Amino acid sequence: MEPPCEAFVPGYGDANAHFHVIGDHPGIHGGIEAGVPFTGTDATEALQTALLAGGLLTSTGEEPGVDRTFLSYLHMCLPEAEPSASAYADMERFFDAELRAIAAHVLLPVGVQATTHVLANYTARQTESIDMNQLHGQELRGSGFLVVPIKDPTLWTNGDADRLVEALETLQATDYRRESDLGRFIAGSDPYFVR
């Protein structure tokens, strides 16, 4: 996918991911130097460390090792200033195409912008007042997705990283997959599972 900008950070990771970590844009969550989302800042190092401890990464750094995980941004272009609502709307087609192509079971939006977008578009939840302190690491059922919001790592305080790691470990100890058996619609008795 080639967005209409000179500098952008495309999605990175496992194309068959179970987990899709979604950030805002490279100006906030880094990645321009490495070309990989969530790289290049102290806050993203803290996030990568928590994702590693929680079992979603196999290594950290400018090219983190992924384990069933995909990383991307709502707005993959490097903006000159905070993107406008129309800029986010214009980039929605790229994000939505990527999200649907990956078809992860669990969406992990990072920060208020990504969480608001995911909750508004992929769940039936209200998004008027988002309290990231309350939502951080909480499992929320969506429309075909399980959503686990992550507080922006620049705002983490004591215990936020541990809370995320614990939530990821608890999640992976369950059957978090969001699949439906459509076998009843085809001849025979074999199941046909889709995400």
Q: Would you state the pLDDT for residue 183?
A: 55
Looking up residue 24, the CATH number of its domain turns out to be 3.40.470.10
The answer to whether residue 23 is domain-embedded is: yes
In this structure, is residue 3 part of a structural domain? no
Question: How many structural domains is the chain composed of?
Answer: 1
pLDDT by residue for the chain (195 residues), tens only, comes to 788 898 999 999 999 999 999 999 999 999 999 999 999 999 999 999 999 999 999 999 999 999 899 999 999 999 888 999 999 999 999 999 999 999 899 999 999 999 999 999 988 787 788 899 999 999 998 777 899 999 999 999 999 999 999 999 999 998 876 555 545 556 777 765 555
Structural domain includes residue 7: no
Q: What residues have CB less than 8 Å from 95, skipping those under 6 apart?
A: 22, 72, 73, 74, 75, 76
Residue 5 domain flag: no
The reply to whether 38 falls in a domain is yes
Range of the domain at 149: 12-194
pLDDT attached to residue 180: 53
Residue 145 lies in a domain: yes
Residues whose CB falls within 8 Å of the CB of residue 96, separated by 6 or more in sequence, listed in order = none
